[in-house]
Amino acid sequence: MDPKPKGWRLVKIEGVPLAELTAKNWNQIKDFQARPDDVLICTFPKAGTAWIQEIVEMILHGGDSQKCDQLPIYQRSPFLDLFLPKPYLAGVKEAEEMPSPRILKTHLSAKLLPPSFWKQNCKIIYLARNIKDSAVSSFCFHQMTHLLPSPGDWNDFLENYIAGECTYGSWFDHVCGWWEAKDHYPILYLFYEDLKENPAQEIGKVARFLGVELPESVLSQIVQHTAFKSMKVNPMTNFSTLPSSILDHTVSSYMRKGTVGDWKEHLTVAQSERIDDICAQKLRDSGLIFRTQL
């Protein structure tokens, strides 16, 4: 018997598996009206979305952490493609009701993005993370959330993940699709591993992209406020304010490890080498290079 009977099924939209409620409400997402001053944060799941959301918020609030700490992160930047059962709001409705300027979150691939974002030429920040750490993080998240199907056995989960039979589809298509899109639209493409290695430098890139000048002291405040150890204990960023019917923190944490290379604790040598081979093959033409350790 499924130990998590509330887990959602996945339903494909244009070949991409999405959570059932997202797929059912697809027209609302597709027709979403972006505004020219929206900042959109895009990631494949578990790439560090909350991290970059908090960084963007802090930059736009001039490093004032009190402004960021007024509401949980998921209320400050609506998750467009998330539909929760009542009484919770749908991401698109929350976004529609929000005054500008808005910071929005999506896990959609470039090909599924609501067309109004392209038309309005919105600024988009894409954060990519290596597939090995993303897969491990995703497996642990599937165990703690009631919003997704149970992950089952790790080996089967990893095979499905590599094959793109998981929420939001193929990691390869996602990172490559957005990589290609960045040559045509105002997209800042960042890597989790770079952010981890040199947060001040990467946060500086985000600020310049957003047209904000950051004094050194503010930059260092943002680095501190958005460090893993700070975000893990901050109830406004660690998702502990969500009910256990959505995220069960007794099973795992949303802010779990926050490192590069945790995959070494989970993948066999054979699994790791197989992924290296597939990456070499599938990423070759793109020129994309991912680091799996620092």
* Amino acid identity for residue 222 in this structure: I
* Segment holding 106, helix H or strand E: strand 103-106
Shortest Cβ 262–ligand PPS spacing (Å): 6
Is 255 one of the binding residues for ligand PPS (CB under 6 A)?
yes
Is 291 one of the binding residues for ligand PPS (CB under 6 A)?
no
Active site residue 107: yes
Is 140 one of the binding residues for ligand PPS (CB under 6 A)?
yes
Looking at 81-89, 154-162, 252-260, 264-272, which segment touches ligand PPS (CB under 6 A)?
252-260
Residue 119, class by beta-carbon neighbours within 10 Å (0-12 exposed, 13-18 middle, 19+ buried)? exposed
Cβ proximity to ligand PPS: between 37 and 197 the closer is 197
Site string for ligand PPS, 116-135 (x = CB under 6 A): -----------------x--
Shortest Cβ 234–ligand PPS spacing (Å): 10
Is 191 one of the binding residues for ligand PPS (CB under 6 A)?
no
Is 50 one of the binding residues for ligand PPS (CB under 6 A)?
yes
Looking at 29-37, 146-154, 227-235, 241-249, which segment touches ligand PPS (CB under 6 A)?
227-235
How many residues touch ligand PPS under the rule CB under 6 A: the total is 21
For residues 118, 120, 121 and 127, what is the CA-based torsion angle, rounded to 10 degrees? Answer: -70
Pick from 74, 285, 81: which is nearest to 168 by CA?
81
CB proximity list for 5: less than 8 A, separation 6 or greater: none
* Segment holding 43, helix H or strand E: strand 39-43
Is 257 one of the binding residues for ligand PPS (CB under 6 A)?
yes
Please state the φ and ψ torsions of residue 153, each to the nearest 5 degrees: -75, 140
Q: Which of 73, 82, 125, 231 binds ligand PPS (CB under 6 A)?
A: 231
In the structure encoding, which two tokens stand for residue 257, read together?
A: 């490890």
Tell me how long the chain is.
294
Three-class DSSP category at 115? helix
Do 46 and 143 meet the contact criterion of CB atoms below 8 Å apart? Answer: no
Active site residues: 107
Residues in contact with ligand PPS by CB under 6 A are: 43, 45-51, 133, 137, 140-141, 226-228, 231, 255-258, 262
